[in-house]
Structure 1
Amino acid sequence: MKPSLLFPIALMVLLLASGCIESPSVSESPPFDEQPLSAVLAIQIDLSGSFSGYWDDKAYRLFLDISDRFFQEAMGKETKLVISQLSGNDKVLLFEGRPSDLRKRFKTPQELNAFLKRHSDASGSRVYDATTRTLDYVGTISGVSPETKLLTVILSDMQDSDSKADAENRLRESLRKYQERGGALALYFVAESERERWNGLLNDAGFRPGYFVIESELTSSPRLPRFE
């Protein structure tokens, strides 16, 4: 370095050290607001071919009922609604926003139903993968804290068409972490052949009574969650 540059640099260091020149500091107000969320509801919808009859007949009405109840009971609170799908389509997450955002985006139930079907592939039913990705996503939403109520509702027969050992292991880990956050889980329209399996998965993950419900395809009046 040239000798002529040494003096100005040394002088700058002394001025900074003495406080004569204000050094950059972290702003006291962060540039992005983050509102703590009181609740997050995730609804995962089976849009595979094996479940299409239930979706059009019963499951879609239950989806509308649950989302409407969440909208009504969440008014005045900071909440998020997440919609995901399970089918042969690799795109799992379809919507995240306030309950009111869903109503603004889709003016009619028919418009929403058409959107959901456009983003599905009826040739497959990747239950394990879609459930893992949905549960993991819920835990990363901005504003989620230890006080945030988490509820994931799955409308599916829960029959996985792509069962692999590594997929089940990832699901088990996601269920365990979700349960440790205090998350609750509700499964509706579960095939009778899958009920024992999912009872075992949830018990192994540590879900306590009152934090999960498994309702079969035969249940005419399923127990619905409370959002207060």
Structure 2
Amino acid sequence: MFQISRFVAIALMLGVTPAIVGCVKSQSIKQEAPFEVQELDACLAIVIDMSGSFSQSWDDRAYGLFLDLSERFFTEGMGTDTRLVISQLSGSERVVLFEGEPSELRTRFAGPDELNRFLRDHSEPSQSRVYESTKATLDYIGSLGGVTDQTRLLTVILSDMQDSEQDLDVRRQMGNEMIESLKRYQAAGGGLALYFVSADETTRWKRILSDAGFEPGHYVIENELTQSPQLPRFE
């Protein structure tokens, strides 16, 4: 009897374990929500590099850049239900820092000083986790409630795009995992704009985006940021 009871207990434990694992939210597989949510017309994610000396260049520019990019994207889209996501590239485990309606940016951060302080307080400048942070941002967008195949998606990355991981095997694995997230994002119709990309990284990123399925015109790679930056084409 003891052996039978023990067997049943173990079986129950084994049966429960998958259920527990199944409750963990997947960022890469979009599941049907039990209740209706408001569909989003557009979602813009801005990813800013807060690593090393690169972060210092945002002190006088980040706030204006965020406002300009969000105004251009959301105005061109003519939608009313929209989301703005701000995330960062640095050594910090916390990638996504802000999500809300575009108008909340001015409410949350009254001026450049507040935004710059917020970005610095949540960054770890010793590392530049480009591949991991890009993957985390794209997966986060894919998990947002209200994102449909009709939602205009744009991710803007302000970085030299140089990943700081020194272990080549680890960096290759992270890069391949990021490409899988890029493939899902591209399949959902997402556009990508990379500004301030190092000249040494330009060829690599063109290959990365090609491997992920991005067609010319659906992404932008620039080595600097002009006053009126080019945005990807949406069809």
Normalising by structure 2, report the TM-score: 0.76
* Structure-2 change in CA distance of 1:107 and 1:62 (3 Å): closer
Identity of aligned residues (%): 57
Alignment of 1:99-178 (within 5 A): 99-162=102-165, 164-178=171-185
Q: For 2:194, which of 187, 192, 200 is the aligned residue?
A: 187
Which residue matches 1:224? 230
Gaps in structure 1 of 5+ consecutive residues: 1-29
Q: Partner amino acid for 2:185?
A: Y
Q: Partner amino acid for 2:214?
A: F
Contact 1:172 1:205 in 2 (8 A): yes
Which residue matches 1:203? 210
Alignment of 1:17-32 (within 5 A): none
Normalising by structure 1, report the TM-score: 0.78
Deviates more, 1:179-188 or 1:161-170: 161-170
Deviates more, 1:103-112 or 1:122-131: 103-112
Q: How many residues align?
A: 198
* Structure-2 change in CA distance of 1:113 and 1:128 (3 Å): same
* Structure-2 change in CA distance of 1:222 and 1:158 (3 Å): farther
3-state secondary structure, aligned to 1:190:
coil
CA deviations on 1:13-55 (whole Å, 9 max, x unpaired) are xxxxxxxxxxxxxxxxx99551111100000000001412432
Which residue matches 2:100? 97
Could you say what the CA RMSD is over the residues aligned between the two structures, in angstroms? 2.4
Report the Cα offset of residue 224 of structure 1.
Answer: 2.8
* Structure-2 change in CA distance of 1:221 and 1:107 (3 Å): closer
* Structure-2 change in CA distance of 1:208 and 1:81 (3 Å): same
In 2, Cα distance between equivalents of 1:54 and 1:209: 29
Contact 2:217 2:232 in 1 (8 A): no
Report the Cα offset of residue 59 of structure 1.
Answer: 5.4
Contact 2:218 2:233 in 1 (8 A): no
Gaps in structure 2 of 5+ consecutive residues: 1-32
Report the Cα offset of residue 104 of structure 1.
Answer: 1.7
In 2, Cα distance between equivalents of 1:76 and 1:125: 34
CA deviations on 1:93-118 (whole Å, 9 max, x unpaired) are 10111111222222222211211111
Report the Cα offset of residue 216 of structure 1.
Answer: 0.5
* Structure-2 change in CA distance of 1:160 and 1:50 (3 Å): farther
3-state secondary structure, aligned to 2:143:
coil
